């Protein structure tokens, strides 16, 4: 069904005395409803969208509308509306572009703001840094050197040779975008001459080749705060890659990796270490000293009868809280070590101890063998 068979006012669902604002609002509503992007694969919706576009193209123009009201579709088809050809094409493009931009975004038109491509920010950069657990505890001040694009000094990022200037692009008249009509659609794309900048460099800078930036080493001061962990990210604002043609630079992100420690393992702000003790210390109790991450000696009291795998906790002896107060804990896991080298006298003393054992000294062993005995009795009954 062609648009000539349907009244334009009926297509847009407005009365014949509707004002321009009402017609424009009605077209926006119908375009949103039937646009192909909103109805993929729906041929009927696409046809209805084209009909509504044709209706709006006629009714929004006072001369076309007057001719249509007088002569109907025949007047519009034969050009009696006076609006055919290229007359007023720029204004029509802007009007339709405004509608599409409000509905579907800037891809369908640039509106009345010119449409020049905004300055593209420079890329963000990543730098991986390895620190020791001691450095993560205390924090540190360090320097890094990276190769990064920076603003060209001779042209100050403009890309033009010093003493020369840019000129407005003739292709897009400084807008950065060009438009073309394809059937019922107005297609807008980036200007191929200036690439969206709206300006053309007549004489590129010899230092940067017209890019406005050059690659060179950059040395930066980096502060590592106490309490950082693997995966901690430090952001240096504006220290990333310079943007083209003097646009703002990106940021530099430093990703930290904490190396394994010889003594301590880490879980958040908690430190874990495994400490071997003699079986006599485990049996009689006592105390041991171990070095803390802060360099101070830590005294650990060992209760009598402690078993391997038992964990003792020292509050506030762990890692500092990143950007906060206080410290985590230190967890000491006890490992009871059985002696492997004994003198004749030590063996003699142990045999004397063994002769005096009743089984009640080691409740876990006694309980285990009692369970074995009960299980055997159950099998033999």
Residue ranges at the known binding site for Zn(2+)? 152, 155, 169, 172, 191, 194, 205, 208
Positive or negative: CA dihedral 133, 136, 139, 145: positive
Q: List Cα–Cα distances, 161 to 149, 197, 200, in angstroms.
A: 18, 17, 12
- Bridge partner residues of 144 (DSSP): 220
Residue 4 burial (CB count, 10 A):
13
- Bridge partner residues of 225 (DSSP): none
CA 217 – CA 221 distance, rounded (Å): 14
**Length of the chain counted residue by residue:** 381
H or E element, residue 76: helix 73-77
Residues annotated in the binding site, as ranges?
152, 155, 169, 172, 191, 194, 205, 208
326: left (phi over 0), alpha (psi -120 to 50) or beta: left
Instruction: Name every residue whose Cβ is closer than 8 Å to that of residue 1 and which is 6 or more positions away in sequence.
Output: 47
């Amino acid at each position: 069904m062609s648009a000539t068979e349907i009244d334009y006012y009926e297509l847009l669902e407005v009365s014949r005395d509707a004002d321009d604002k009402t017609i424009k609002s009605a077209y926006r509503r119908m375009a949103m409803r039937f646009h192909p992007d909103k109805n993929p694969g729906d041929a009927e919706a696409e046809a209805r969208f084209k009909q509504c576009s044709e209706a709006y193209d006629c009714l929004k123009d006072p001369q076309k509308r007057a001719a249509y009201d007088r002569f109907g579709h025949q007047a519009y088809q034969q050009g009696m509306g006076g609006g055919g050809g290229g007359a007023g094409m720029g204004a029509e493009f802007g009007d339709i572009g405004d509608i599409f931009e409000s509905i579907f975004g800037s891809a369908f038109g640039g509106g009345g703001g010119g449409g020049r491509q905004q300055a593209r920010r420079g890329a963000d950069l990543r730098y991986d840094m390895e620190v020791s657990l001691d450095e993560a505890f205390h924090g540190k001040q360090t320097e890094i050197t990276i190769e990064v694009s920076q603003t060209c000094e001779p042209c100050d990022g403009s890309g033009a040779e010093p003493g020369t200037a840019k000129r407005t692009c003739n292709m897009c008249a400084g807008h950065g975008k060009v438009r073309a009509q394809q059937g019922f659609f107005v297609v807008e794309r980036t200007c191929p001459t200036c690439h969206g900048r709206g300006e053309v460099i007549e004489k590129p800078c010899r230092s940067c080749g017209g890019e406005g930036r050059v690659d060179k080493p950059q040395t930066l001061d980096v502060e590592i705060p106490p309490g950082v962990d693997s995966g901690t990210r430090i952001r240096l604002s504006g220290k990333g890659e310079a943007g083209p043609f003097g646009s703002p630079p990106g940021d530099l992100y430093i990703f930290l990796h904490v190396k394994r420690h010889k003594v301590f393992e880490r879980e958040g702000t908690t430190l874990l270490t495994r400490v071997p003790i003699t079986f006599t210390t485990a049996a009689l109790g006592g105390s041991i000293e171990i070095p803390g991450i802060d360099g101070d000696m830590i005294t650990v009291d060992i209760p009598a009868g402690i078993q391997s795998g038992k964990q003792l906790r020292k509050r506030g002896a762990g890692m500092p809280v990143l950007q906060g107060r206080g410290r985590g804990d230190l967890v000491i896991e006890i490992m009871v070590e059985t002696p492997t080298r004994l003198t004749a006298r030590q063996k003699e003393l142990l045999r004397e101890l063994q002769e005096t054992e009743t089984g009640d000294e080691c409740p876990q062993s006694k309980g285990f063998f009692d369970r074995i005995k009960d299980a055997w009795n159950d099998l033999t009954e």
